[in-house]
Chain A
Amino acid sequence: MLEIKNLHVKLEDEDKQILKGLDLTVETGKVHAIMGPNGSGKSTLSYVLSGRDGYEVTEGSATMDGFDLLEAETEERAAEGLFLAFQYPVEIPGVSNMTFLRTALNAQRKARGEEEMSATDFLKMVREKAKTLKIDGDMLKRPVNMGFSGGEKKRNEILQMAVLEPKMCILDETDSGLDVDAMKLVSDGVNALRSEGRSFLVITHYQRLLDHIVPDVVHIMANGRIIKTGGPELALEVEKNGYADLLAENA
């Protein structure tokens, strides 16, 4: 599904290298997790994959089912099925959540040459999905993320994912800021979307999320590279011992 080879990324305006030869393959239908110390480049990786301005790819490649991600516009990557649940979801005054979701869904459908969804079907579908994430009608009407609590913003990210039904989902610390119940809600939301044709890359600091969303593969990222790959037990090891041993091993 997702194939990243030798990815080197620096800041556009600064001579600062952030990703330094990253290799990562996520197979179709699998859930991979990435853990790693603060500042190791996890969010940068997700931004570069989705096409945020400010980063420069100096070497390497990233493809999604053969589609060259790095060459495409941000919206084209989304229409192709890439989804990033933001670590810090953005507030957009004046644009209602509902309008946002509908515009996004129909824009993606249009880009793929599919029929737009009728207003009635759309409303029905969103209300159903919102309900399972305990997002009420008021939150759907309000401007995107405006005045949402930290946890509400994260739930809203998962709602967008559920509505857009992407094939490659990157979740950047979707668990941070969630209370125990919300964590369960979000995990259930993600698990409900797990399917043969859909892959996940879950960025997290905590093993706890991985109790709910059990990964097939766990990667440790440090200093702009993947330094170790293993099974779910790797996350337990990090939880117990921290990164010191792993970093030392790799030094």
Chain B
Amino acid sequence: MAIKRAQLKQQKQDALAARQPVLSMPEGGEWITAARKDAAGRLDAMGLPIRRDEYWKYTRPDAFTSAAPEAAALADDAGAQVFEGVDVLTVVFRDGAFDADASDALALDGVEISRLADAAQADIHWAKDIYGALETAGQDPVERPLAALNTAYATDGLVIRATGAAAKPIHVVYERSSDTSDVVLHHVIKVEEGASVTLLETGAAGARANTVTEVTVADTAAFHHVRSQGRDQERQLLTHMFARLGSESTFKSFTLTPNGKMTRNECIMELTGDDAIAHVAGALMADGKDVHQDDTIFITHDAVNCESRQVFKKVLSNGATGVFQGKILVKQGAQKTDGYQISQSLLLDEDSQFLAKPELEIYADDVACSHGSTSGAIDEDALYYLRARGIPHRKAQDLMVLAFLAEAVDEIESEELREAILRRIRLWLDLEDDL
């Protein structure tokens, strides 16, 4: 056993040794340099994930740990138009580099917003307190070395502080024009007491991208997040969202993943104030044997009367793989916890697979937690009924796919954003808009 553990540790170190030479720490001021060095220290101690890692049982970490990304051919539709028509503040990163010309001025009522690269030179107290701190806390009880790698080597990102109700959503558009770009971005968001802000993200950030977002939502504050990860066949994407919620706060995150060769979205949330609400949802459309997508969620309830909700829907076809690892940890004293988790897949053929690992770990006695995971084929009776009315097989199937995904999309609170996502899915499926 000891030998085995030593062996694993060595393999993780070897993986890091292969990746590290191509990484270089960006220039920055005092505080960020200290945070980066801390993160590099954490990374050194952990090494990088390997295939035998329990936490990477269903998803090979290789794509994210290799020295250079696999070349990813450019897609003609990166999906950046998802929120067309929605009034937003646009911020563009192209292959990880801030694109000032394509971005709006970084000014918005109710919000302070700047680039991480700029904040790194200044002494911004609040950012200093968050940058890397939530990631550090999120290393326990499960190690997430690639998030530490991000903290140590991220080149840019956004630093957002909402002090009131943000006048409009902040839309981060990730463009890519390179088939070999290797992007590391890190966002820090603080939503002050009673404030609210919505973050939208669209597009594929790079041929390979590793992004971390750290969010603290203060008492009675609200954070909404809706993203579409780019209909980009070959991009490889790893995201971590670390969130800490104060009392009576709200956190809602929704992710649409339309294909992409490799995607792993980790969401690590800690409910630390009473009466907080945390919802995380995702819809996946995965078509093709090279498509692999993974949602890994870890929600810690550490306060009384909180609600958490996970709703994940995955449509898999032509040999695609969908993974869901979702854990709810209810700490001692976190009474009246209401934890709900559902993950469902719709398998359009027998070559595709859905791997799910739902987990509950509960140390309080007065809680209501439920989880369910299902895997099913298309309902043949419904399909026949639709076809008997003249709807061609493919379109009938698409209607049912949309209906299936809509249950996750419905988790988005804003009707405008919900409609934007549905419109996008309909467009991809070649379905007409609803009347």
Contacts and interface: CB of A to CB of B under 8 A. Distances in A.
Interface stretch (B281-289, B358-366, B391-399): B391-399
Contacts of B407: 94
B390 interface: yes
A144 B407 CA distance: 16
Interface in B385-410: 385-393, 395-396, 399-400, 402-404, 406-407
B435 A79 contact: no
A103 B388 contact: no
Contacts of B428: none
B406 A50 contact: no
Interface of B: 379-382, 384-393, 395-396, 399-400, 402-404, 406-407, 431-432, 434-435
A199 interface: no
Given A102-B435, A122-B435, A93 B388 contact: no
Nearest to B404: A94
Contact of B399 (A95, A105, A160): A95
A164 B386 contact: no
Given A93-B403, A95-B399, A99-B435, A75 B390 contact: yes
Interface stretch (A4-12, A106-114, A174-182, A189-197): A106-114
**Chain A residues touching B, majority SS:** helix
A51 B403 CA distance: 24
Nearest to A74: B387
8 contacts: A73-B393, A78-B388, A78-B390, A92-B399, A94-B400, A99-B434, A99-B435, A103-B399
Contact of A107 (B384, B385, B390): B390
How extensive is the interface on chain A, given as a class? 35 or more
B387 A103 contact: no
Contacts, number: 91
B395 A103 contact: yes
Given A52-B384, A90-B381, A102-B435, A95 B389 contact: no
A168 interface: no
Interface in A74-93: 74-75, 78-79, 84, 86, 89-93
A203 to B, nearest CB: 15
Most buried by A among B385, B389, B399, B403: B389
A104 interface: yes
A53 interface: yes
A100 B389 contact: yes
Given A75-B392, A103-B399, A164-B390, A90 B382 contact: yes
Given A84-B388, A103-B399, 10 more contacts: A73-B393, A75-B390, A92-B382, A92-B386, A92-B399, A92-B403, A95-B402, A104-B389, A105-B390, A122-B435
A119 interface: yes
A24 B387 CA distance: 25
Contacts of A125: none
Contacts of A79: 390
Contacts of A123: 435
